[in-house]
């Protein structure tokens, strides 16, 4: 299940957005300002951020910049009543991927979200299907040639992340932040150990997990 983080200070709209995403099968965290949203980033894996611009404590532009610095592979959709070109330029410069002006149709919101997830290599249907390998995010299961592979939750999340964005290099720090949480006490060697375990458990002809010396890891489809 993909998790969306919603930052919106309008109580009614925040409830509508949360209900809409839940109906579409998303897990939802909905908060009232950018500061609270930023605090949530380290608590669990976040796949998408939807944020208002004009909020108390921390506005959407500042939040987007912080998200982009901490989690560069998480798509950001901004919602705002500000519609001038200068406003949009500020939003995109701060790190937003898309910009939806209020009022908007919920159907358009979902279409834009699906497009963003595709652009970032995420699998909206919660599955990655390769010729010999299938990963199901909903059930945390992996099958190779129809046979189940036993993985821990962290091993599964690590493999799913790498295969969701093939050929993209993820640093050890980024993998730690996204899977273990940025406040985790785990060290870089934790990632190395889990990569080693994955290589020993998942014997698939579909991909290799490649070490990029000094940078991190990436999945290469074969």
Over residues 64-74, mean pLDDT: 87
Contact by Cβ (8 Å): 4, 74: no
Task: Pick the closest to residue 160 from 200, 133, 182 (CA basis).
Answer: 133
Model's pTM, two decimal places? Answer: 0.60
Residue 58, C-beta contacts closer than 8 angstroms, at least 6 positions apart: 33, 34, 35, 37, 38
**Between these two residues, 50 and 184, which has the higher pLDDT value?**
50
Please, which pLDDT band fits residue 115 given cuts at 50, 70 and 90?
Answer: confident
Task: Name every residue whose Cβ is closer than 8 Å to that of residue 62 and which is 6 or more positions away in sequence.
Answer: 34, 94
pLDDT at 209 over 90: yes
Question: How high is the pLDDT of residue 148?
Answer: 94
pLDDT tens-digit map of 86-104: 777 887 888 889 989 888 9
How many Cα neighbours within 13 Å face the side chain of 87? 15
pLDDT of residue 149: 95
- 106 pLDDT band, cuts 50/70/90, is very high
Domains of the chain, earliest start first: 3-119 (3.40.50.2300), 127-221 (1.10.10.10)
Q: Which pLDDT score is estimated for 121?
A: 60
* Least confident stretch, 20-29, 48-57, 111-120: 111-120
Contact 155/201 with Cβ under 8 angstroms? yes
- Written in H, E and C, the secondary structure of the chain is CCEEEEECCCHHHHHHHHHHHHHCCCEEEEECCHHHHHHHCCCCCCCEEEEECCCCCCCHHHHHHHHHHHCCCCCEEEEECCCCHHHHHHHHHHCCCEEEECCCCHHHHHHHHHHHHHHCCCCCCCEEECCCEEEECCCCEEEECCEEECCCHHHHHHHHHHHHCCCCCEEHHHHHHHHHCCCCCCCHHHHHHHHHHHHHHCCCCCEEEEEECCCEEEEEEC
Q: For 59-64, what is the mean pLDDT?
A: 92
Phi, psi of 92 (to 5 degrees): -65, -40
* Whether pLDDT at 19 is above 80: yes
């Amino acid at each position: 299940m993909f998790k969306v983080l919603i930052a919106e200070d309008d109580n009614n709209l925040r409830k509508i957005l949360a209900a809409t995403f839940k109906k579409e099968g998303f897990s939802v965290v909905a908060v009232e300002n950018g500061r609270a949203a930023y605090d949530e980033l380290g608590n669990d894996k976040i796949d998408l951020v939807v944020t208002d611009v004009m909020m108390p404590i921390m506005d959407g532009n500042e939040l987007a910049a912080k998200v982009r610095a901490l989690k560069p592979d998480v798509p950001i959709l901004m919602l705002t009543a500000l519609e001038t070109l200068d406003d949009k330029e500020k939003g995109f410069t701060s790190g937003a991927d898309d910009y939806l002006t209020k009022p908007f149709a919920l159907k358009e919101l979902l279409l834009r979200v699906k497009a963003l997830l595709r652009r970032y290599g995420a699998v909206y249907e919660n599955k990655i299907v390769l010729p010999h390998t299938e990963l199901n995010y909903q059930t945390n299961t992996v099958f190779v040639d129809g046979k189940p592979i036993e993985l821990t939750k962290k091993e599964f999340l690590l493999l799913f992340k790498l295969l969701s964005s093939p050929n993209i290099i993820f640093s050890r720090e980024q993998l730690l932040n996204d899977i273990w949480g940025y406040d985790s006490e785990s060290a870089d060697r934790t990632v190395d150990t889990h990569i080693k375990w994955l290589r020993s458990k998942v014997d698939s002809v579909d991909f290799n997990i490649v070490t990029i010396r000094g940078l991190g890891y990436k999945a290469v489809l074969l």
